[in-house]
Structure 1
Amino acid sequence: MRRKSKGRTKEQQKAYREEQKRLKRPSRDDVARVALRWLIVSAFQRGPRFLDAAEEAILFELTEFGFDPAQAAGAIEDLVEKYTRGRWNFQRKHHLLVDREEIIPPVTS
C-alpha cells in the first residue's frame, strides 16, 4: 500500500506560492538576502574589525554545513566586494513594483 506524503503536492505548492505572491509575503530566502546584505554593509561601515568578525562567523557556519572553507571564503569575499562597492543590488521582483507604481505615481516635472 502506498503511503501518503507528508509534503505538499505540486498543485498545493504552486497554490501556496501564488498565495504568498498575492499577499506580497517575503520568502525565507528574501529575508535572508536582506539580512545578509544589511549585516555586510553595516559591518563594513563600522570598520575592518567588524567586517572581519562577520566574515569569520559566516565562514564558520558554512564550513559547519560541510562547504569547502576556501570556496566559502571566496564566495563571501565576492559578496562583500559587490555589496560594499555599490556594484550590485538585489534584483527587483517586478510583481511587487507594479502595484507600488499604482500607489506611488512617478514624479513628473
Structure 2
Amino acid sequence: DGTYHCGCDPEYELQADGHSCELKSSCNFKCQNNGKCFDGKCVCTSNFEGEYCEKDKNECDQSIFVHGCSYGCINTYGSYECICPDGYRRLADKRTCVVSLKISFHYRLNYLIM
C-alpha cells in the first residue's frame, strides 16, 4: 500500500517527524528541581534527593551543624527557615536567636512600676 515505518538504531531515537533519528541523551528521564544529568543519572542540588531529584530534602532532620539554626527549624520546599521562640528575634544571619529588646524593656518597666 506504499506506507512505511521508520526505525532507529538502539542509541538513537525517532523524532516527532516520524522519519529522522537523533542520538539519545544520556538520561532517558527528566531530572527535576534543577538536577543535572551525568552518566545517565540525575545529580541533585543540595536541597533535593531521589532518583529524579523529585524529593524535597528535609534539612531540619540534619544536624544543627548543617542548617545552623540556634533554636528551631521549619522545612520548606527546597529550603528551610530558622525560627525563634516568643520573645526572641533572628539576627541578620537569619539563624541566631537573641532576646528581643522590646520584651526586655517591657519587663524593666513592669519592675519599676511595682
Going by fraction, where is helix more abundant, 1 or 2? 1
Point out the structure with max Rg over C-alpha.
Answer: 2
TM-score category of the 2 structures, normalised to the smaller one:
under 0.3
Higher relative contact order at CA 8 Å, sep ≥6: structure 1 or structure 2? 1
Tell me the TM-score normalised to structure 2 length. Answer: 0.20
